[in-house]
Each structure stands twice: as C-alpha cells, then as structure tokens.
Chains A and B, each alone.
Chain A
Amino acid sequence: MKFWIGAAATVALAAGLAVSGTNEYFFYAGYVVLQFVVLATAWNILGGYAGYVNFGTAAFFGIGAYTAVVLFKAAGAPLGVQILAAACVSGLLGFGTGLLTLRLRGIFFSIATVAVIFIMHTAIVNWRYVGGATGVQLLRPPVMLPFDSYTRMLFVVMAVMAVAGVCIARYIEVSWIGRGLRAIRDNEEAAECSGVPTLKLKLFACTVSGALMGAAGAPLPMYMSFLEPASSFDLNYSVSALAMPMIGGTSHWLGPVIGAILLGSIQQIVTVTISNEINVLVVGVLLVVFVVAAPDGILGLLKKLRWLLRSSR
C-alpha cells in the first residue's frame, strides 16, 4: 500500500512541478535523471535479479529512439504510440538477442551483448531514411495543455514511465518469477533441477528489460529535436545503466532508483559546474569504489549498518 501511495505521489509531484513555474533547466536535467531511473531499473531485471550482465543497454535504448523517429517521420505518430511501438520493437530485439545469447554464461553473455550495440549502430548508420551517420532533424509538434513547454511535458512523461518501470520491476521481484530469477543467479543448474524453466525465465527477463530500455529511448528524438547514431548508441548508456544498480544495490527495486537518482544528479551537476568529460569519470570512479568497498551497493551498506546498530544494543 505504501508503495502505491509513493508511486502516485511521485507522478503527482512531477506533474505539479511541471505546471508550476520552476526554472526550465530543472526539467531539462530532471528528464535525463528520470531516463536513467528507467534504464537502471530495466537493466536490473536481467542483470540484478538473474545475474546476467547486459552491456547492450545502448542498443535497446537507441533502437527505441529510432523506432520513434521512423514512426514520427512516416506517420506523424503521437508520442504515446511512439513509446509503445519502441517498447515492442526493443522487446522483440531483447527476445531475439536472448534466444541467441542466453545459452552463454557469465562473461561470454556480456561480450555478446556488446556486439548487439555495434550491429544496431552500423545498421542505422547505413539507413538513409533516418538520416544515416549525419542524423535527422525533427520539428516538435505543438505542446499539449496544460504544459507550456515541450520539455516539461516530456519530463512528466518520463516520470510516468519511471514509475511504471519500477512497478513492473517490483512485480517481477516479489512474484514467483523473481524467486526463479534469484535461483538462476545463485546457481543455474540447481535452479533447473528445482523445476525452474531457466531459459524461459531468462528470455522473459531479457524481453521485459529490453522493452523498458526501448521505451526510455523513445522520447529522446523529441527531447533533443535531433537524433544521430553516435550519441544514441553511446556505450556510456550501457555503463551508466550497469553502474547505477551496482551502486544502489541490485537485489531490491529501490537499488537502481537510488543509484540512478544519485549518479544521474551528480552527473548533471558536474556537467554544468565543471565539464561534460568529468561526468563520465564520476561514473567510473564511483563504480570502482563501490565494487571494491561495497559490492552490495548502498542498500547493502544500509542493511549492514542496521544490523550493526541492532547488535550493539
């Protein structure tokens, strides 16, 4: 119950902020942070719950963005349709990638997912209709009421998607599916011998994860009014989507949310105050620090702290 109140409050807060008169830059930056909440949450479904480290986030994200471009260019489809279609296409890509790669374990799976980025990137670079390597300029449609700027509207859309993504991840986590995925992460052979249909569950996780990543990419062309392959298939998306859950904690839906808000905000602040290059360094340094000092992330640290407090009493 508390969860649902929190979810509703988050959406209400985002909408309230967007119609009030705060600084426009807040929404510009907030959109990116929320986008990372979706990406990190999506990554965690396969990477955190099932332990399959996916480096292909950029591929799913980019394909989502380009699906939106194609629909917008071809049919002038509204944003909602773009997002749904992007989720379907990326979900299919997740399913296909899963079929081909999920029989691989550990590092081999991860390497295969990196390849997906390059395949998708190359395909888009060579597709004239979406602008090839030079990219494509897009004209935003007029903004819908009650919003007075397109960025504010996209901010609310992304907030809704973040909440929806977290709801999906949480549902998977607490259901039988989540227990099966945890069993896979702990020991795949033993999971299979305990009746867990490991391949099916992994495929399901890979599909849902891919669909959410694609949905997160769909509003990007409208957000930037422009899209080009190099920045949409940027490996930094993959690294961030992996680093954020690791830093927040991978075993609970709250972990990626904490990680994304923390890291995403630091990145935005650093970009404005220092430089765009340093923000990549921040991710790297924090990831190394956490992997070495707190492999269970912030949630793991809090758990340990609570345990210490209780045992000292």
Chain B
Amino acid sequence: MSKHFGGFAALSEVSLEVAAGERFGLIGPNGSGKTTLINCVSGALRNEAGSIVFRGEEVSRLAAYQRTRRGIARSFQLPRPFHSMSVLENLVVPLGYVVGLNDADAHAEARRILETIGLADKAATPSHRLSQVELRKLELARAMAARPRLLISDEAMAGLAGNEVDEVLKILFDLNAAGITIIMIEHIMQAVMRFSQRVICLDAGRIICEGAPAEIVKNPGVQKAYLGA
C-alpha cells in the first residue's frame, strides 16, 4: 500500500504479511513511516493505493471502529486515556462497544483484565492521575479489552525504565501466548530483538530489509539508516 501527505510519500508500495500468532517487529528511524503504516492498518488513516486484508477480508475501506470490532486493536504512542473516566471505565468502553457486554459483566471483566496487567489497585483512580508506566499499561489494557486477534503496540515502552520495559514485555509475551498476533513498533532495539520472531525495517516509506532479529542488526542498510554509517 501507499500513503501520501501532499507531495510527501510517507509510504510507497509497502507490502508485508503477518502470520496469525506471530510476534512481528517493525523498526525504522523517526519519520520512516512506521506510525503511518499502522494508522492505515488500524483505520485512523486511509491508504490511497493497495489493500489491507485481515483474516481474508479486505478492510481498507472500513471505519476504524469496524476494524476494531473485527479484531484489530492498537495502543497509541502517546497514551490517549479517556481522561474524565476512571481506569476501570476506560476498559468498560471497548468491553461494551466491541465485545457487547452489559454493564455488570463489563465491569467484572474490566477488573479481571486490570488484575492480569497489574493495575487492579488503580481501578477507581481517575486516569489523568496515572504515572507514565501506568498510562502505558492502561493503553495495553484498553486494547486487550477489545478482545483483539491482532494487537498493534506503538512504542509502548518509549521512555520507560529498564524494569518497566521488562514488565510491559512480559505482558506482551503473555498476550501472544494466549494466541494474539502482535505487531510491535519500538525504538528500544533490545526489546524488539528479544520479542520479535521476524522484523521489518522501514526507511523513508520503503521496506529496506526483512528477516530474523539477528540478521536485521547485521544488515548494512539498517545500520546505515540507524547509525548513518
């Protein structure tokens, strides 16, 4: 698919396939088109050329909420909590609108998700009072509440300390073990390399290389894009 902003080609004929249950890493320098790519997949943006096929269905003309209902969930690079709601209510939104639970069931389920993600003690806290790492977890928890088949994690670990990165990574590993396909966008190389089974590197809207993590770090194109060598 391709995506232009005015005369600027954010994505030019990018083509990729992710298998069900895969842990897939997407890397690339700033402005390389990673977020544009997942905005197109999640429906926040419309791709101009090409198509997006999810579980055998062409979804590129569907609104974002319809894609979420088909199983594509995402977290945002800068956390976007529903700031007037409590942490628990943040999860009740997708549980109601995507899963279709009634109020009581949605609240019970939201509590369960908060427990697995380690935010149970914050359930009643207004979401604007959370710390950075808690906000990241809330982003993931809200994405999980939509019961996705594919979870796109957009820099869920940026700006976190080492042990916090490990916490978030563990959550993502657990989700994957439960059968959810995960696309991870990340600048923290160590995390992507440890997590992903397969990695694609984007640069200036094109895929410059694809392969197992170990091959990617050795690739001269990737080294050039990242280090300028």
Report the count of interface residues on A (CB-CB < 8 A). 20
With the chains together, A190 CA to B78 CA distance in Å?
11
* Stretch of B8-16, B69-77, B207-215, B217-225 lying at the A interface: B69-77
What are 27 sample pairs from A and B whose C-beta atoms fall under 8 A apart? A176-B96, A179-B96, A182-B82, A182-B84, A183-B93, A185-B84, A186-B84, A187-B80, A189-B64, A189-B76, A189-B80, A190-B76, A190-B142, A192-B43, A192-B63, A192-B65, A193-B42, A193-B43, A193-B65, A193-B68, A194-B65, A194-B93, A195-B69, A195-B93, A196-B93, A199-B63, A251-B84
CB-based nearest A residue for B83: A186
Residues of A within 8 A of B96 (CB): 176, 179
Count A-B contacts at CB 8 Å. 78
Min CB gap A96→B, angstroms: 20
Please measure, in the bound complex, the distance between the C-alpha atom of A110 and the C-alpha atom of B52, giving whole angstroms. 35
- State the majority secondary structure of interface residues on A: helix
Complex contact B84–A180 (CB within 8 A)? no
Set of chain A residues within 8 Å of B76, measured between Cβ atoms: 189-190, 193
A185 to B93, CA, bound (A): 13
Measured CB to CB, the nearest residue on chain A to B128 is A186
Pick the 7 closest A-B CB pairs, nearest first.
A195-B98, A195-B97, A186-B82, A194-B94, A190-B80, A192-B64, A187-B80
Task: Select from chain B the residue with minimum beta-carbon distance to A176.
Answer: B96
B-chain residues with CB within 8 Å of residue A191 when the two chains form the complex: 82, 93
Residue ID in chain A nearest B100 by CB atoms: A195
Say yes or no for A16: interface residue by CB 8 A criterion. no
Docked Cα-Cα span, A197 to B98, in Å, equals: 10
Closest to A190 in B: B80
| Interface residue? A198 (CB, 8 A) | yes
Q: Is B92 an interface residue (CB 8 A)?
A: yes
